[in-house]
Amino acid sequence: MKEIFSLKDKRAVVTGAGSGIGKAIALRLANSEAEVFVVDFNEEQGQSSVEEIKKMGHQAHFHKCDVSDTAFVQNVFDKIGGDLDILVNNAGIAHIGNLEATSEEDFDRIYNVNVKGVYNCLKAGVPMMKSKGGSVINMASIASLVGISDRFAYSMSKGAVHTMTLSVAKDYLSYNIRCNAIAPGRVHTPFVDGFISKNYPGQEKEMFEKLSKTQPIGRMGKPEEVAGLVHYLCSDEASFITGVCYPIDGGFITLNG
């Protein structure tokens, strides 16, 4: 019998896989025997993820990439070549501020990475799935689904990720390409620790607890928990699922009212 949730003989691209959620996803897919292509702008972190996967006895390769650069992205996917089974569009950046606190430069920076970056990877990666089918996972956010204070540009970008997911899911049904999105709440990553230490020096412990309690479940999510959902959606066991945006938020959307 085939092992449940096995990704053996599947080829997976994970963007932003040098740290945080992206790294957890890359490790999880590799541990299920996928050949993983780690794509990240930070060469040191990306190579570190690859080395960790190789130490586990699995296949991995690093490709440096600026996802906002169309030609750069296409060149990376051309180098990867062949058929592609899994594409995880995880690379993204954050911005804090309402409409009036968002400059044109802020808006363009968020758009170029979070929206155009996903477009570039979809444009390069989806054609590589057309011969065999595949699974695309786009990293959205609870900000795609509900209003979040002081996240104007970020919410814009993640709303676009959500609707791009629906379009790709609809347009590529006949190619057996599934496209879903994941909408995390607050997840404990090095970015969160850096944000707290930068903005609340001396109050790190108190702010961490405060932010943790914004999730009704009482804590932040773990990158490994997001990776587990990605793993399932990439597997053949999820072959009847497409065009869905899955919250993974400790009850934030449904239980905060």
pLDDT for 67: 98
pLDDT at 45 over 90: yes
The pLDDT tens digits for 169-188 are 999 999 999 999 999 999 99
**Is the four-CA dihedral 165, 169, 175, 177 of positive or negative sign?**
positive
pLDDT for 43: 98
Rounded (10°) CA dihedral 147, 153, 158, 159: 60
Fold of 11-185+221-248: Rossmann fold (3.40.50)
Dist CA 14 CA 87 (whole Å): 6
Which residues, 6+ apart, have CB-to-CB distance to 210 below 8 Å?
Answer: none
pLDDT at 256 over 90: no
Q: What residues does each domain of the chain span?
A: 11-185+221-248
Report helix, strand or coil for 167.
Answer: helix
Q: How confident is the model at residue 109 (pLDDT cuts 50, 70, 90)?
A: very high
pLDDT at 2 over 80: no
pLDDT at 257 over 80: no
Q: Are strands 11-15 and 35-40 parallel, antiparallel or unpaired?
A: parallel
Inter-helix orientation angle 20-31/223-234, to 10°? 50
The pLDDT tens digits for 67-106 are 999 999 999 999 999 999 999 999 999 999 999 999 999 9
Q: Where are the beta strands (DSSP E) in the chain?
A: 11-15, 35-40, 60-64, 86-89, 134-139, 177-184, 245-248
pLDDT for 61: 98
Quick one: tokens of 141?
Answer: 């956010």
Dist CA 218 CA 4 (whole Å): 31
The pLDDT tens digits for 185-228 are 999 998 889 889 988 899 999 999 999 998 999 999 999 999 99
Over residues 126-145, the mean pLDDT reads 98
Residue 137: closest CA among 13, 20, 250: 13
The pLDDT tens digits for 152-166 are 999 999 999 999 999
Catalytic site residues?
Answer: 154
Inter-helix orientation angle 43-55/20-31, to 10°? 30
Which residues, 6+ apart, have CB-to-CB distance to 24 below 8 Å?
Answer: 222, 223, 224, 226, 227
Quick one: tokens of 58?
Answer: 């699995």
